Amino acid sequence: MAGITPLQFDKSPKIAFHRIEMSAILDVYGRMVMAGQAKDYAIGMHEDHAVFAIFRRHAEAPTWRIEKVPALRNQQGAFVVYGSQGQVLKRGHDIKTVLKVFETRKFEVLNFGKPS
């Protein structure tokens, strides 16, 4: 008879968003969905950072990324919002302050099609 082989689990600690942080992020995401600016999201938990990616369309690169990097907490702030080209849109110590970048009009969806 063959012996039982135990499963190998990755026991390294992962960085994740806390409930209050996720609530603030999902509030912004919900407003973006209602405005037609977002269609999908993805969450990633890694050893050194956590990511919440927002997609404008399905199956493409994320339009915005919200990252939590606890190692930068004492320098630039643990939270950062990246644009689609990897540019830093906002960085800070408080998630709600960082997410205010989405309240500006520059993220408004414009329709340049033919006038009806």
pTM value? 0.77
Contact between residue 16 and residue 50 where contact means Cβ atoms under 8 Å apart: yes
Each domain of the chain, given as residue ranges in start order, spans 38-107
Sign of the torsion angle spanned by Cα atoms 82, 85, 86, 92: negative
What is the chain's pLDDT, residue by residue, as a tens digit (116 residues)? Answer: 567 777 666 667 788 899 999 999 999 999 989 888 888 999 999 888 999 999 987 767 888 999 999 888 888 888 999 988 888 999 999 999 999 998 875 555 555 555 55
